Structure 1
């Protein structure tokens, strides 16, 4: 090999060694994902912590900031400003999307929100507060404009208030959370149950069972309270009646027939927490040759879409589903626009609808 070739090889080798020596010193751009992986939290949590959001606990905010500073991460405030722009997305979370009552609420929500070009994201949290929290976190990641929430059992006022304090428009529907500062739209569940049981008492019933309702929800407690008040004002001891909480679905109502038939004496009337429990119970009773409206009085709650067309048609309490949906959507839109809310508590007056299942007029 001549001297020229030797020198060229030396330069090539030297250049390669130089590049190899420099490679370990090159640093990749540090991202939110890197920080999230290091700390074992979501990128949304990192972003919120770096913006001093009250949605993240103070200890977590401080830990994120320490790690970001140690790693040399520079927070991009321009990008953060873009991330806070309007998304035209509103989240809606309820505990049972299979319930026709919520289908009616959804319809009214979508009509009102759609008229303002809002898209609805739906969550069925099934009364699992962790599922609800995951959905809320996803809404924050998608920069949602607001949240309409029928809160899960075990929802704390603090977590709702953190969302409110962070500026996310929130409206509660159907259920209350005591101490939460978000506006609420719901029916008057005590008054509705009171009217339903008074109707049964006026028809001559003295042994009136109550089936269903989550004890951990305001709705379950309030409808039970209405049942208790109506019995007491008629001189009937509630403690002597059949009361079986935590039933929510049609399947629950169907299975509850065994409790009813084992009772001595058998109740002559049943107040059900919702129409789904009532429909399941009516179907199961028919298999035993017992007809609602003829052999036993059964009344539901919510006046869901199929209550009037079922056989027998279901006596129930209309709880203003369409109005709840429309009013809740209007509240969210007002908050998004920065307009004042005319009322932070809207209580819809319920009304009794008498049909065949309590011996009302046959079609």
Structure 2
């Protein structure tokens, strides 16, 4: 059995440096240059056991708050750094959770991350985050690093190219995994996501009801579940209205504001110019709108534009953007709670949990030729 002192030793200043040179108080008892600091240094200085010091550094309620404060203050004074890796050998917990998404710059994922971070930090979990950019090799390298650090679990918005086999291999090794925002069929892990097919169907049907019959679909990686489902929702609404999806402009793979700006010439030069554009997400829509204006095409009256996700500021544009509220806060919070249940040893069903989307109708999707928002003047 590993004793408390050895399994939770910390780091001392480098070889050849004394306490004063390293910023340590000269009165730190038991300190010698180059000697690795351990719990005993703190315990001897305070006259308590190493077990009490170990518990105090882990914020255990078994130790009085005043004692915890003294231990932490002393540890800081002498430069002791808690060795989490060694402690995890005893507890089988590292208090580390990995979170991987494909675009951390997207405000939608920033909101989801903020929600899950709050839940995980309340339980003392530290978070490693990866922006895998839909590069499955980058994602796999991150997961391997997590395994090397004995991470407690993984929340994953899977990259395009992620297979059920590699997720199931992790689950089979006893590693808690929760998928978020994107589904991978036949995985053994739970998945928390929005109902993308339903949301895309609702917003496309809204455009049809506004009198549009030439409705482009712009964006979405069709190899991801979100891209496939939103595309399927668009097609479903068109077919129900007697509109041929194959006759509509359909531009896949676009995801960012830059992509939205770049798509405008193709939309405006189409043989049958669309009167409405359903964008995969708000970023694509918000990239398009100023570029339409540069080409003397006013978003709203001249071409209806809709987004998806309802990111912060979507309602503050002119015209305010019609979009789908996809509840990143709910998804992030539920993903974190689901992972914590798995870490605690609870068996969690792997049936996907779909959060109900909400259509947000605003000024950017009027009937053809109608103005709902104020006109911009040069």
User: 2-side partners of 1:245 and 1:234: how far apart?
Assistant: 22
* Count of residue pairs brought into register by the alignment: 285
Q: Let me know the Cα RMSD of the aligned residues.
A: 1.7
Q: Cα offset for 1:361?
A: 5.0
Which has more radius of gyration? 1
* Structure with the largest fraction of helix: 1
User: 1-side partners of 2:261 and 2:334: how far apart?
Assistant: 34
Q: Which runs of 4+ in 1 moved over 4 A?
A: none
* Alpha-carbon contact 2:197-2:232 (below 8 Å) kept: yes
User: 2-side partners of 1:325 and 1:361: how far apart?
Assistant: 34
Q: Normalized against structure 2, the TM-score is what?
A: 0.73
Q: Normalized against structure 1, the TM-score is what?
A: 0.76
Q: Cα offset for 1:339?
A: 2.4
For residues 242-283 of structure 1, the C-alpha deviation after alignment (integer angstroms, 9 at most, x for no partner) is 001010111000000011011122100000000001111112
For residues 138-169 of structure 1, the C-alpha deviation after alignment (integer angstroms, 9 at most, x for no partner) is 11111111100000000010000011011111
2:200 is matched with which residue?
193
Q: Cα offset for 1:83?
A: 7.7
Structure 1 gaps of 5+ residues are 1-78
Q: How do 1:1-363 and structure 2 match up within 5 A?
A: 82=89, 85-341=92-348, 344-359=351-366, 362=373
User: 2-side partners of 1:296 and 1:168: how far apart?
Assistant: 49
2:74 is matched with which residue?
none
Q: 1:285/1:188 Cα in 2 relative to 1: closer, same or farther (>3 Å)?
A: same
Q: Cα offset for 1:290?
A: 1.4
* Alpha-carbon contact 2:300-2:372 (below 8 Å) kept: no
Structure 2 gaps of 5+ residues are 1-85
SS at match of 2:116: helix
Q: Cα offset for 1:311?
A: 2.7
User: 1-side partners of 2:312 and 2:138: how far apart?
Assistant: 27
Choose 339-348 or 211-220, whichever is displaced more: 339-348
